[in-house]
A and B are shown apart, each in its own frame.
Chain A
Amino acid sequence: MTMNNQGRPTAPGTVEESELPTISGDRGLDHEEPLIFELGRSGMTGVDIPEVQVSDTHLGGLRRRGPIGLPGLSEPEVVRHYVRLSRMNCAIDAGLYPLGSCTMKHNPRLNEKMARLPGFGDTHPLQPEQTVQGALQLISDLMRWLMVLTGMPAVAMSPKAGAHGELCGMLAIRAAIHARGETRPRILVPESAHGTNPATAAMAGFTVDEVPATPDGHVDADALEAKLGPDVAAIMLTNPNTCGLFEPRIKEMADAVHKAGAYFYCDGANFNAIAGRVRPGDLGVDAMHINLHKTFSTPHGGGGPGAGPVVLSAALAPFAPLPLITHDGSEFRFIEDRETLPHGAKPFGRMCAFHGQMGMFVRALTYMLSHGADGIRQASEDAVLSANYILASLKDVMSAPFGEGPCMHEALFDDSFLEGTGVTTLDFAKAMIDEGYHPMTMYFPLVVHGAMLIEPTESESKESVDRFIHVLREMALEAKAGKTTRFAGAPRLAPRRRLDETAAARKPILRWKPKELPQAAE
């Protein structure tokens, strides 16, 4: 999932330590923790494995000669190391995490428990099919849920994340166009798109042409139609879009795209706003990835693993990648090679080894069965309701560029309310950390100046949202009143002050090295 431009280096300057320093360097429950390589001693291990001698007979003269350089620690030392590291992280379980476009909803623990059932967690991808009928049934059931919820006739399950799903969809589009005996090099991508969209189009061998946004935050449908032509393969459009708005002219755009002989790729990152109420198939979508870690609650895990199945229209379905799953009336089977394809199948290739993110499939299906179709619809409605409630409660003190109408599952603000205060979007977001909140998504989408994108999700109670609104209101009022102390140099109460990203990028240190070796990396 693409985000803010935190990747753009910022240099923080220096601050004075005002508190009395402790002798240990730790502060109460906040412990400093060295690198694992700075702990331990040689010969120690946290796993008891009997020592055996091995001969060189079968090693082909390639036995390792030198040591690897790993530290040795006992189990309690390792456990403490990672527990201490964990305590330096913000998490949904501990508080509202309003990252727009990322959908930080509750991750039910039942999902985790089900994924660990030995029948799912302890099965091998290549063990005989007759021994994994339950696993194939699970995938097949999940496929059905995804197809019914999206109103699409086919789904490719193997993509390993949203961006991987985008690639899968674009390769299916490429194959469909080649099958028509055409070459269409150009992809239209709105300027508000996630960065993965243009990156994926380029990776799939296309050139990217940007479509502007209208002043009200929508894709400029007229500009889009003007750009269509016989060299356009597809549009890649996010709906609801990255400004948190539903594209009202979506059907019209889809029709124009199809009329021009092109395909409609929909970035499904924001499907969580409409699941159970709107079927993308009814909007003319040809391919859409579904981030199981967003809409269907599989945990984000600090950045993965994700899962990105792609639903496909009838026009693209024949080009779905291997493997395919069939049911012959009595048994499920994989189709893993081109010799045994069902009639009409023309797979474009293979996205990865094996069959996809099974562990995520179990979690997603568990979530779906728990919610049911009615609960999924309610979740979408609550997510949209909470975002609108935040928009309505803050737009008088913060500035909402598209605040006239309702938003979908996320509320977008810009930095015009901070004009003249000396406080930036970055300062405002970092000050939220001191208030106990993870910042919202900043500086994305790019079509809005100093963007702040807030997505509360359906997982927050009204009390929790009210408290959040209260804090943001007070912050906005203080900033506007010229009381800017809490913003300058924030956060002050986090495990770290602002970090020097400029220095990190200029002289990259990407690994630990023993002291005697030079530390410089470039």
Chain B
Amino acid sequence: MRYLPLTKDDRAAMLNKIGARDIDALFRDVPKAAIVGRSAFDLPDTQGELEVERALSRMAAKNVSAGSVPFFCGAGAYRHHVPAAVDHLIQRSEFLTSYTPYQPEIAQGTLQYLFEFQTQVALLTGMEVANASLYDGSTATAEAVLMAQRVTRRSKAILSGGLHPHYAETVETVAGLSGRVVRTPVTPGNTEDIEALIDDETACVVVQSPDVFGLIRNLRPIAAAAHAKGALLIAVITEVVSLGLLESPGAQGADIVAAEGQSIGNGLNFGGPYVGLFATREKFIRQMPGRLSGETADASGKRGYVLTLSTREQHIRREKATSNICTNSGLCCLAFTIHLSLLGEEGFTRLARANHAKAAALAERLADLNGVSLITPNFFNEFTLELPKPAASVVDALVDKGIIAGVPASRLMPHDHAARNFLIVAVTETVSDEDCDALVHALGRAVQ
């Protein structure tokens, strides 16, 4: 087996040194009845690289990759162009095959990029501090609600109907254990009166912008209403590229920002691994979940970085920790930080404008189709259309034409009858003019 360096002779010599008769002697604490042989496993034997590559490639070929067709899916995961340098750099052995930077003297590379990442996230979100990442946007949102419950010592969380339904379910699963989670009905448009639900028991209000339908939400009045009752505003972002064109949630009064960072540096990967961004105000840092890299100096006075405020974390605090989280999204957050460094202010804001311009042009063309209306007047690179028939059937029909037209809202909210005809369409810089023409043409025919 190519990954195992010990030879038969090595094994014999090592057993001899140990004073064990055979390998079984080393497993003597295992109850006899629990030791099983090869026949207990109905699984294949070792295969060479060529055979394995062939098997996996065959499976991969059964999927339609996003880059091979006109592609308009978003709803929490976005296809952007990732510069070649990003994937090359994250595969350097020193990044790929290192552990959590517990020994800071020999992990300054990781610790410094985490410190830079934290700074980038704080700048983008308009917040004072950010952590070194959580698993993804949905779990970051759940952690934000738990943190708000700790900070306010209140239990009720109000979730906007525009919050991605998977995120809302993730929050309910975790935060529903210790508190009450209230969801406003899922309706696109600025119609929900979330401010009216905020009371003296409310720990936090969770609002996504752009929301799951792509609608840009004004967070200011919600922040004001929350703060008036002593509650926190948690702003959720699933498309961070929007921050290149839109006002940051920090500037609009958010207390915690939980975001999905996949759009920058990370591929679609069928849903994971992604990278959760988490930012907040300085006064809450000791209530934050997750790893933090902090600046310090070494014994010779040189600037360096260490993991810090570990007394919040499970390996020190055990059952009193702010979260049970142990890992972060290391390599995905490295990809994020490298891509953002390549873009810089100029590239990032240009990228955002390019996305919006392309989406706006396509939205207007699609809204002109007979029977199709645009129900999100304000949006970044994703919008929702109301079709004259169920969106899922239209998407299926367009798959047969070689177009993946978007995400039918019914995939995310199957019980919401009003959403049956809604199609959520995302348009990034990776969509070509020909792709847009193809969608306009095919959708026009499909809804006739």
- Report whether A392 and B136 are in contact in the complex, using a CB–CB cutoff of 8 Å: no
B residues within 8 A CB of A14? 299-301
**Chain B contacts for A163, CB-based, 8 A:** 314, 324-327
Known: A148-B41, A366-B56; 5 extra A-B contacts, CB below 8 A, are A46-B343, A62-B378, A160-B272, A301-B98, A495-B108
Q: B247 interface residue, CB < 8 Å from A?
A: yes
- The reply to whether A491 and B59 form a contact with Cβ atoms under 8 Å apart is no
Q: How far is the CA of A511 from the CA of B252 in the complex (A)?
A: 21
Q: Are A392 and B18 in contact (CB under 8 A)?
A: yes
B96 touches which of A91, A141, A503, A508 (Cβ 8 Å): A91
Q: Is the CB of A82 within 8 A of B89?
A: yes
| Chain B 393-430 interface residues, beta-carbon cutoff 8 Å to A | 395-396, 399, 404, 407, 411-412, 414-415, 429
- Give chain A nearest CB distance to B31 CB in angstroms: 5
Q: A341: CB under 8 A from chain B?
A: no
Instruction: Kindly state the separation between the CA atoms of A6 and B291 in the bound complex, as whole angstroms.
Output: 13
Query: In whole angstroms, what is the CA distance A15 to B33 when docked?
Result: 58
A495-B304 Cα distance, complex, nearest whole Å: 10
* Contact with A120, one of B63, B112, B136, B411 (Cβ below 8 angstroms): B63
Question: Is A59 an interface position by the 8 A CB rule?
Answer: yes
- When the two chains form their complex, are residues B77 and A511 in contact, meaning their CB atoms are under 8 A apart? no
Q: Which residue of A lies closest to B424 (CB)?
A: A126
Q: If A127-B73, A278-B35, A362-B56 touch, does A203 touch B323 (CB 8 Å cutoff)? A: yes
Say yes or no: A42 contacts B345, CB within 8 Å.
Answer: yes
Flag if A349 contacts B99 (CB, 8 Å).
Answer: no
Name the one of B10, B83, B87, B295 contacting A75, with C-beta atoms under 8 angstroms: B83
Min Cβ gap A41→B in Å is: 9
* A-B pairs with lowest CB-CB distance, top 9: A7-B310, A119-B60, A134-B62, A354-B271, A349-B173, A125-B271, A301-B331, A60-B378, A305-B273
**Contacts A353-B167, A373-B38, A503-B296: A379 and B18 contacting too (C-beta < 8 A)?**
no
What are 30 A-to-B residue pairs whose CB atoms are below 8 Å? A15-B300, A33-B112, A62-B218, A70-B344, A72-B346, A82-B92, A88-B107, A89-B107, A93-B94, A93-B96, A125-B270, A126-B76, A145-B43, A163-B326, A282-B33, A282-B36, A302-B101, A304-B327, A304-B332, A348-B173, A350-B169, A350-B170, A354-B77, A372-B46, A374-B1, A375-B1, A385-B15, A433-B105, A495-B106, A505-B294
B296 touches A352 (CB 8 A): no
B309 interfacial by beta-carbon distance below 8 Å: yes
Beta-carbon contact of B268 and A123 below 8 Å: yes
Q: Does B324 lie within 8 Å of A59, measured CB to CB?
A: no
CB of A57 within 8 A of CB of B360, answer yes
Is A365 among interface residues, defined by CB-CB distance under 8 A? yes
Set B60, B267, B298: member contacting A500, Cβ < 8 A: B298
Please report the total number of B residues contacting A with Cβ < 8 Å. 211
Closest to A513 in B: B119
A497 with B330, Cβ < 8 A, contacts A199-B323, A372-B45 known:
no
In the complex, whether A112 has a CB less than 8 A from a CB of chain B is yes
Number of inter-chain CB pairs below 8 Å = 745
Of the candidates B85, B178, B273, B346, the one whose C-beta lies within 8 Å of that of A43 is B346
For residue A68, CB closer than 8 A to chain B, the reply is yes
* A259: Cβ under 8 A from any B Cβ: no
Cα–Cα, bound, A78→B337 (Å)? 11
Give the nearest-CB partner of A358 in chain B. B270
Contacts of A148 in B (CB 8 A): 41-43
Does A422 lie at the interface of the complex (its beta carbon under 8 Å from any beta carbon of B)?
A: no
Residue among A68, A131, A370 with most chain B CB within 10 A: A68
Interface string of A101-135 (1 = CB under 8 A from B): 01010111010111111111111111110111111
B121-129, B198-206, B434-442 - interface stretch: B121-129
**CA gap between A90 and B63 in the complex, in Å:** 37
Closest B residue to A246 using CB positions: B29
**Stretch of B153-161, B226-234, B347-355 on the interface side:** B347-355
How far, in whole Å, are A89 and B98 apart by their CA atoms in the complex? Answer: 7
Does A126 lie within 8 Å of B319, measured CB to CB? no
Q: Residue A329 at the B interface, CB < 8 A?
A: no
B78 to nearest A CB, angstroms? 9
Q: Does A482 touch B at the CB level, under 8 Å?
A: no
Name, among A118, A356, A464, the residue most crowded by chain B CB atoms within 10 Å (CB to CB). Answer: A118
B196 within 8 Å of A (CB atoms)? no
Report Cα–Cα, A93/B325, bound state, in Å: 27
Smallest beta-carbon distance B12→chain A, Å: 10
Q: Are A497 and B404 in contact (CB under 8 A)?
A: no
* Chain A residues within an 8 Å CB radius of B29: 245-248, 405-406
Rounded to whole Å, the gap between the CB of A226 and the closest CB of chain B is: 21
In the complex, the answer to whether B6 meets A461 with C-beta atoms within 8 Å is yes
Given contacts A126-B411, A304-B328, A495-B106, contact A64 B248 (CB under 8 A): yes
Q: Closest chain B residue to A283 by CB distance?
A: B34
With a cutoff of 8 Å between Cβ atoms, the chain B residues found around residue A131 in the complex are 63-64, 399, 404
Chain B 287-298, CB-CB to A under 8 Å as 1, else 0, gives 000011111111
CB within 8 A of A503: which of B17, B49, B297, B310?
B297
Cβ-based interface call for B285 (8 A): yes
Across the interface, do A501 and B353 meet the contact criterion of CB distance under 8 Å?
no
B100 at the interface (CB under 8 A from A): yes
A405 and B270: CB pair below 8 A?
no
Q: Check A81/B30 contact, CB under 8 A, given A90-B107, A501-B296.
A: no
Given contacts A125-B270, A163-B324, A301-B330, contact A62 B414 (CB under 8 A): no
A510 to B429, CA, bound (A): 33
- A7 touching B91 by the CB < 8 A rule? no
Q: Does B379 count as interface, using CB distance less than 8 angstroms?
A: yes
Q: How far is the CB of A140 from chain B (nearest CB, A)?
A: 10
Q: How far is the CB of B342 from chain A (nearest CB, A)?
A: 4
Residues of B within 8 A of A321 (CB): 173
B306 within 8 A of A: yes
- Given contacts A36-B341, A356-B271, whether A128 and B396 have CB atoms under 8 Å apart is yes
Interface contact B4-A375, CB-CB below 8 Å: yes
B135 with A160: CB separation less than 8 A: yes
A204 in contact (CB, < 8 A) = yes
Residue A47 is within 8 A (CB to CB) of chain B in the complex: yes
Determine whether the beta carbon of B344 is less than 8 Å from that of A72. Answer: yes
Task: Give which listed residue, B25, B56, B318, contacts A195 with CB less than 8 A.
Answer: B318
Which B residues are in CB contact (< 8 Å) with A134?
Answer: 58-63
Q: Are A305 and B330 in contact (CB under 8 A)?
A: yes
Q: When the two chains form their complex, are residues A199 and B318 in contact, meaning their CB atoms are under 8 A apart?
A: yes
Q: Is B346 a contact of A91 with CB atoms below 8 Å?
A: no
Are the CB atoms of B105 and A494 closer together than 8 Å? yes
> Which A residues lie within 8 Å of B252 (CB)?
62
Within the assembled complex, what's the spacing in Å between the Cα atoms of A497 and B108?
11
- A7 with B307, Cβ < 8 A, contacts A107-B97, A126-B77, A374-B45 known: yes
- A438–B38 CA distance with the chains assembled, in angstroms: 35
Chain B 1-55 residues near chain A, CB threshold 8 A: 1-7, 10-11, 13-15, 17-20, 23, 25-31, 33-36, 38, 40-47, 49, 51-53, 55
Q: Are B47 and A370 in contact (CB under 8 A)?
A: yes
B356 contacts the other chain (Cβ, under 8 Å)? yes
> Closest residue of chain B to A82, judged by CB?
B89
In the complex, B373 has a CB within 8 A of chain A: no
Residues of A within 8 A of B307 (CB): 6-7
**B-facing mask of A476-519, CB < 8 A → 1, else 0?**
00000000000001010011111111011100111110000000
The reply to whether A160 and B348 form a contact with Cβ atoms under 8 Å apart is: no
Cα of A389 to Cα of B100 in the assembled complex, Å: 27
A511–B269 touching, CB < 8 Å:
no
Chain B residue nearest to A500 (CB atoms) is B296
CB–CB A97/B319 < 8 A: no
Bound CA–CA A246/B170 (angstroms): 35
B351: chain A residues at CB < 8 Å are 47, 49
